[in-house]
Amino acid sequence: MTGRAGAPRWPLALVLGLVLNLALILAACAPRLQTPGPGPVIPYFDGDRMVMADGDRRPFRQWSPAGDGRPRAVVIALHGFGDHGQAFETVGAALAARGIAVIAPDQRGFGRSRARGIWPGGRALVADLAVIGRLVAARYRGWPIFALGESMGGAVAMVARAEGLPVAGVILVAPAVWGRASMPRWQGGALDFFVRLVPWLPLDPSATGKRASDNLAMLRALGRDPLFIRHPRLDTVWGLVKLMDAAAAAADGLDPPLLLLLGARDEIVPRPPICQMLVDLPRRPGIVRRLYPDGHHMLLRDRAGARVIADIAAWIGSAALPPLPAPTGFCADVKGR
């Protein structure tokens, strides 16, 4: 059948069929999200696992002070994207030697967790931290509990803290706050388009040429770590961006005590969202901002990471941090500043 100008006229049923098939194809390619655990339970410790409210299990590592001495504090340490709890091996040992216990879970979808590599949803990560906080507080009743989040873990801690996470203090190490508000529109639009077309697409972060640390030996070891996710799915990155949106929006609702640690040479989180976070953070006593001139994104595992860890221990102990000269003009060349 042809139209007025001789062009073919498509039967309505055929057009509707094509549209329906296209919709089904796109639905089949929707971003994948982890299913919840086997069922609702009362959370509890089970050996080296913590059982969450939906029955899912969080493997964790723990570093405790030697002997039977009472720790000065307990730190819940949340790792970054693609990583796992063993990322805090050096931190855990160093803090334990100073009398501070460290508990580092493999967050949902990472490390030894079920469905590794599948995004669990930002809300699930935040809910897990709330449960872990209650479990740790019950086990170490009366001891000060701190939440430490590195990169993605920092984003989780920011959202949880803004929602009232009851801890003695929060330590943010290069938190992931690169949300859509600080991305070019084409970048966010391309992410939305391709995540519905090829959500399973494995990405290679190393192709960007960005360096996460000056500790090359550590980076090489990380590349050989079988639990580290080197090629994340596109839809997990999409989910991470949504979490970073929430973290950036939570910055102005963070309460002290809070310690924010940043590296002036961070190549992973761009400077504009970092500077926006610095603007949004409340100007209140007890919120400490610390910028390391030679620090990279993986501050705790940089070659000078021992200095950062010592500062964390001093802050937990309420000691005054030694003065640290900040690089001049850190945010001066950021548009809008």
Angle (CA) 17 21 22, round 5°: 115
- What is the residue whose two structure tokens read 């803004």? 162
Q: Which two tokens stand for residue 289?
A: 């901002």
Q: Can you give the pLDDT of all 337 residues of the chain as single tens digits?
A: 544 555 555 565 554 444 454 444 445 568 888 999 998 999 999 999 999 999 999 999 999 998 776 788 999 999 999 999 999 999 999 999 999 999 999 999 999 999 999 999 999 999 999 999 999 999 999 899 999 999 999 999 999 999 999 999 999 999 999 988 888 888 888 888 988 999 999 998 888 889 999 999 999 999 999 999 999 999 999 999 999 999 999 999 999 999 999 999 999 999 999 999 999 999 888 899 999 999 999 999 999 999 999 999 999 988 557 666 555 578 876 665 5
The end-to-end CA distance of the chain, in Å, is 62
Structure confidence at residue 94 (pLDDT): 97
In-domain check, residue 59: yes
Q: Which two tokens stand for residue 162?
A: 């803004």
Structure confidence at residue 13 (pLDDT): 52
Strands (E), 212-293: 258-263, 287-292
User: With contact defined as beta carbons under 8 Å apart, do 31 and 240 qualify?
Assistant: no
Structure confidence at residue 23 (pLDDT): 46
Structure confidence at residue 103 (pLDDT): 98
In-domain check, residue 18: no
In-domain check, residue 215: yes
Structural domain that includes position 44: 32-316
Helix axes 271-280, 234-250, angle to 10 degrees: 30
Domain CATH code at residue 247: 3.40.50.1820
Distance CA 42, CA 40 (A): 7
Structure confidence at residue 40 (pLDDT): 92
What are residue 137's phi and psi, to 5 degrees?
-65, -35
- Helix, strand, coil shares of the chain as percentages rounded to 5? 40, 15, 45
If we measure between CA atoms, which residue out of 168, 132, 143, 142 comes closest to residue 72? 143
Q: Can you give the length of the chain in residues?
A: 337
Q: Which two tokens stand for residue 19?
A: 């549209």
Distance CA 301, CA 62 (A): 18
In-domain check, residue 334: no
In-domain check, residue 332: no
Structure confidence at residue 28 (pLDDT): 54
Q: Which two tokens stand for residue 286?
A: 């007890």
Distance CA 109, CA 36 (A): 11
Distance CA 148, CA 156 (A): 10
Q: How many domains does the chain have?
A: 1
- Other Cβ atoms closer than 10 A to 72: 16
- Using DSSP bridges, classify how beta strands 44-46 and 49-51 pair: parallel, antiparallel or unpaired: antiparallel
Q: Which residues have CB under 8 Å from 164's CB, separation 6+?
A: none
User: With contact defined as beta carbons under 8 Å apart, do 64 and 101 qualify?
Assistant: yes
User: With contact defined as beta carbons under 8 Å apart, do 179 and 248 qualify?
Assistant: yes
Strands (E), the chain: 44-46, 49-51, 57-63, 73-78, 100-105, 145-150, 169-173, 258-263, 287-292
